[in-house]
A and B are shown apart, each in its own frame.
Chain A
Amino acid sequence: MGLGDNFMLKLDETVTHVLGQWDIYTTGIFVVLISVWIYTVISSRDPDAHPMLLARQAQPSPVRKEGESAVFRSHSAPHGIPLNAGLNIKDPGDSKWARGRDGDLRDVWRRVVAGGLDREGNETGEIGKLFTVLGSEQVIEHNLGTRRVSSCQ
């Protein structure tokens, strides 16, 4: 009898021993284990953001001054490039590759009038709507006590 045969015999005995004792409780435990495993597989979801990203949300500058901390910035505006200070507005005729203007308040309304832009900067004609909500169950007493709030029309 070689070493391998002896091992196979032991293995056979062990398996028979375990399976021979299989009863209703074993089935119960087995079902519970499988259910837990299936539930974990089904319910497990990828996190919305990688935990590493959550742990390091800001980017410190490599050096700092005495008496001050490092300068922290958003990952979307890393050190070495200017902060995101404008709307990058390109007027008709501007080069596609040039950096756009920062813009001012007028450009916000012009965009509302002109509608949305797609990734290439072409107008999509998607114009937002502006609503005024009227009507409310609650009457709010005005501090002068003489006038209803204008939502109660």
Chain B
Amino acid sequence: MCLHVNSWVLTDIADITRQINLIGQHLKQNGGHNIAIILPNSIEFLTALFACAFYDLTPILAPYDQPIEKIILLLKRCKADTVIAAVGSFPFDAITKSYPALKQLVWVVDEGSKHMDWNEVPKGTGGAVNVSTWQEIIQDQEPTVGTELPPVDRAGELRKVLAFWPSGELVEYTQANLISGIAGQLTSVPTTQRITHADLFLPVDSLSTIYPLVLTLAALYSNASVAFNSVAGQTSDLRIATQGIAPTIIVATPEALATTHKESQDKMSSTVYSIVHWFQARSLVQDGAMPVASTFSRMYDSLRPIIGTTPGKLRLIYVAKQAGVASTPLSAEILSDLRIYTGARIIYALTAAKVAGAVTQTGLYDYRVDGSEKYSHFGAPVTSCEILFKDTSEHKTTDEVSTGEVSLEEILALKYLLTSSRSMPGAQPLLAKRLR
């Protein structure tokens, strides 16, 4: 049984700073170097990441909710010596047996199972592993300890952040990489639409994916409020993921948006609505302006997808296509429909394994519908990125047309992508075709 409590908890920033310090010190003292973070979206996930940044440790963002065999495989690939995981998310015995390199384990205990003693190591197993719980590390210290962030050391080399691309590839992101991704996201939207203090940002995709993580960091840097929901990334139902709060900006998976589109389309299928829809689509595509609510469109407000507790609050949806990863395609028509159903603008980005943040993304004000291609157009490069296309046997650049093959190359700390998309209308379908 699960109680239905639509509620949220506000965490004090100073308290998180203290947790960053205490967790960072604890990991460091126990000889941690490579810290695997296997957590759902939560304050602890964020705290663990920043603890690694401040205490010179390498964070490894491992996907949550994987079978134990997969976790062990991932740990072996990234050579983790420390694991931070939600308590009970995998059997302790199995991991110590099949992964002897493990030196310490930090369980994050949720409210419901705090009374249990998770430190107790089963006899005969894992004697060498230092097991502790997150809550104990925090509570064992005086409240005054660890309230100040460590002094800045600019001399030391910054540790990389490791993450897994859905194909299983382990990608190392330098901090310069991540920062340029954040900077690109901050400056690639028009000034009036940037993330501000007034926004409430909710990642509905798992933070172990680099694109939602970079956007979350960008929101944090913009001093927006940020909400975490542990079901994010595990459900494709936006209604469930946004229960109890009213976000203004979300980052969602293409699957979640496709589901929302399908459901709304089924619900809003009456002839009268299709006339209203036609007028609103005309406003978007012909006039290039977000449709305003009219008496007619308000009649259908009860059928619109429920994203957050206050209808109309949501203003921006980020969604990304991961290059080379099979995912639900979003066509320009679907995106246009979703703009009408949700009343929010949508940024459709193209991401690549070695690039933090986005490579290209559609303009915030770009509502154009470009034919019946499988994928919508992906827009222009973000400000931290430049792209060019290399010739292939099929696609050669001429003086009129820019075209070529998708390949990726990293130069300096910045991000350069060699791809076949022209950022001009008409040629984007080419990119979509070659990425499938």
Contact = CB atoms under 8 A, between A and B. Distances in A.
Given A71-B386, A152-B2, A113 B8 contact: no
Contacts of A73: 381, 386
A132 to B, nearest CB: 5
Interface stretch (B181-189, B255-263, B312-320): B181-189
Contacts of B120: none
A77 B182 contact: no
Contacts of B402: 60, 69-70, 72
B161 to A, nearest CB: 8
Given A69-B397, A134-B7, A135-B4, A128 B226 contact: yes
B230 interface: yes
Contact of A84 (B5, B183, B397): B183
B9, B86, B366, B388 — which one has the most chain A CB atoms within 10 A of its CB? B388
Interface in A1-60: 44-49, 51, 53-58, 60
Interface stretch (B13-21, B27-35, B134-142): B13-21
B404 A83 contact: no
Contacts of A76: 187-188, 383
A138 B197 CA distance: 31
A104 B53 contact: yes
A102 B226 CA distance: 23
A15 B89 CA distance: 88
Contacts of B388: 64, 68-72
B373 interface: no
Interface residues of B, number: 111
Contacts of B225: 128-131
Nearest to B183: A84
A146 interface: yes
Contacts of B237: 138
Interface string B175-211: 1101110111011101000000100101000000000
Nearest to B184: A84
Given A85-B414, A138-B240, A102 B179 contact: yes
A134 B227 CA distance: 10
B171 interface: no
A68 to B, nearest CB: 5
B86 A150 contact: yes
A105 B50 contact: yes
A144 to B, nearest CB: 7
Nearest to B91: A144
Contacts of A58: 380-381, 423-424
B380 A105 contact: no
Contacts of A57: 363, 366, 379-380, 423-424
Contact of A104 (B68, B175, B383): B175
B179 A104 contact: yes
Contacts of A130: 10-11, 13, 16, 43, 46, 225-228
B221 interface: yes
A64 B402 CA distance: 10
A74 B381 CA distance: 5
A54 B368 contact: yes
Interface string B394-420: 001100001110000000011000100
Contacts of B91: 144
A36 to B, nearest CB: 14
A133 B245 contact: yes
A56 B423 CA distance: 8
A128 B46 CA distance: 15
A137 B386 contact: no
B384 A84 contact: yes
B244 interface: yes
A134 B397 contact: no
Nearest to A56: B424
A24 B235 CA distance: 62
Contacts of A77: 187, 383-384, 386
A147 interface: yes
Q: Count chain B CB atoms within 10 A of each CB in A45, A70, A135, A142 and give the residue with the most.
A: A135
A71 B423 CA distance: 11
Contacts of A151: 229-231
Nearest to A50: B288
A108 B217 CA distance: 7
B43 A132 contact: yes
Contacts of B222: 116, 128
Interface in A66-100: 67-77, 83-88
A49 B190 CA distance: 10
A139 B65 CA distance: 14
7 closest A-B pairs by CB = A47-B288, A58-B423, A49-B365, A57-B380, A69-B402, A105-B53, A152-B2
22 contacts: A45-B283, A57-B363, A69-B388, A72-B423, A83-B386, A86-B179, A104-B158, A106-B149, A129-B10, A131-B8, A131-B11, A131-B200, A133-B244, A134-B9, A135-B4, A148-B112, A149-B231, A150-B40, A152-B3, A152-B112, A153-B110, A153-B111
Interface of A: 44-49, 51, 53-58, 60, 64, 67-77, 83-88, 102-113, 115-116, 124, 126-140, 142-144, 146-153
